[in-house]
């Protein structure tokens, strides 16, 4: 069986976007399952919170939120940090370098804000072990803003 090197997969911004969205959606779905745990149990639907409990589900959701955060920021960090270091080392002040740095910085800031917001809200749910349904519902709702910020960072 042949395998594709990770360096080849994560050489494209699309890879980071897809991973970030997948992980964010998984997190959000688990949070929605936490909010509807009792209804799912009554209906016999075997969701993660029904089968393993809200505490375990909130841990898994938080893990996915960290993956989403890392993927959202990953491309920016991989490209931005070496560019800034190179610019500082050469002390060039060309307009192209500056505009590229501003665009990369904007992307990084949006990624941090979006991914960080989602991770922070999910962490609050984790701290309650998934028992605060209102907090989980808020995390689901506010997670949409986080997703929009991450999407904006890839534009």
Each residue's pLDDT tens digit, 84-134: 677 777 765 555 555 557 777 888 899 999 999 999 999 999 999 999 999
pLDDT at 124: 96
Tokens of 16: 């980071």
Residue 94: half-sphere exposure toward Cβ, Cα within 13 Å = 8
Contact predicate 76/153, CB 8 Å: yes
How far is 68 from 62, CA to CA, in rounded Å?
A: 10
pLDDT at 93: 54
Contact predicate 48/30, CB 8 Å: yes
pLDDT at 39: 94
Mean pLDDT of 121-149: 93
- At 11-57, the pLDDT tens digits run 777 888 899 999 999 999 999 999 999 999 999 999 999 999 999 99
How far is 82 from 33, CA to CA, in rounded Å?
A: 41
Contact predicate 104/143, CB 8 Å: no
pLDDT at 74: 84
For the chain, the C-alpha Rg in angstroms (whole number) is 19
């Amino acid at each position: 069986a042949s395998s594709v090197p990770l360096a080849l997969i994560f050489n494209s911004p699309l890879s980071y976007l897809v991973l970030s969205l997948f992980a964010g959606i998984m997190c959000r779905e688990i949070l929605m399952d936490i909010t509807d745990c009792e209804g799912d149990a009554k209906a016999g639907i075997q969701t993660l919170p029904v089968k393993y409990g809200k505490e375990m589900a909130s841990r898994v959701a938080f893990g996915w939120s960290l993956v989403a955060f890392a993927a959202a920021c990953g491309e920016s960090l991989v490209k931005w940090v070496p560019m800034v270091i190179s610019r500082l080392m050469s002390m060039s002040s060309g307009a192209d370098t500056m505009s590229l740095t501003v665009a990369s910085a904007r992307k990084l800031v949006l990624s941090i804000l979006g991914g960080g917001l989602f991770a922070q809200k999910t962490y609050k749910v984790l701290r309650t072990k998934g028992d605060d349904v209102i907090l989980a519902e808020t995390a689901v709702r506010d997670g949409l803003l986080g997703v929009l910020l991450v999407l904006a960072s890839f534009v």
